[in-house]
Chain A
């Protein structure tokens, strides 16, 4: 069964303090690993898709990387507006393109 585990559950950073979020996955036939951002009371907002080990994607202060067993979301010099829950999801070869999500990492960036 496809499974996604995210760590830590919660992370508190000072503004400018860089860190990384982890997403470990087990999936039969990875057809994409997805990172989403979710603000309170809102739906998830798409950030990145990664397809193969070694692939990297960047957007502003965020950089996502992928290995055969896990993905990292690196946050460089975060700002308070980066505070949100970051969700990782995988799409496997089974099922009709559904995404299997982890529980997320709640990030709080304080000034």
Chain B
């Protein structure tokens, strides 16, 4: 198992452009999370999937943000009309719910977005 993979690792874009990030979770994990982390801060929750269903979205996730997880496998996070304030590290995490309450999140290395 190679862990949680994220692509691209770095993205530089101009304000107003659209960007898409991809996350490949650990294969047997049924839960997938997106977080955003800015410099000097901890990760902030964005959204959560149980299999293919998006069950919770943070108020941080404006209408310009959309996430999908088709067929409960990989996930994409798209940001439309990027703004400089979107510059951050976007982290994906996955976990396996065994019903015992443990549910430890395993994070990927992140996708760093810079909006010029």
User: A residues near B, CB below 8 A?
Assistant: 4, 6, 31-32, 34, 36, 41-46, 49, 51, 87, 89, 91, 95-104
Chain B residue with the shortest CB-CB distance to A98: B45
- Asked whether, in the complex, the Cβ of B91 is within 8 Å of the Cβ of A96, the reply is no
Interface of A is mostly: loop
Q: Is A46 a contact of B42 with CB atoms below 8 Å? A: no
Q: Say yes or no: B107 contacts A87, CB within 8 Å.
A: no
Which residue, A4, A6, A91, A101, has most C-beta atoms of chain B within 10 A?
A101
Contacts of B42 in A (CB 8 A): 4, 6, 87, 89, 101-104
Pick from B12-20, B48-56, B63-71, B73-81 the stretch touching chain A.
B48-56
Q: Which of B43, B44, B104 contacts A49 (CB 8 A)?
A: B104
Instruction: Indicate which residue in B4, B101, B105, B112 contacts A99 across the interface (CB closer than 8 Å).
Output: B105
- Contact partner of A101 (CB less than 8 A), chosen from B40, B44, B50, B103, is B44
Report yes or no: A44 in contact with B43, Cβ–Cβ below 8 A: yes
Tell me which residues across on chain B come within 8 A of A102, comparing CB atoms. 42
Given the contacts A34-B104, A46-B104, A89-B42, A97 and B109 also touching, CB distance less than 8 Å: no
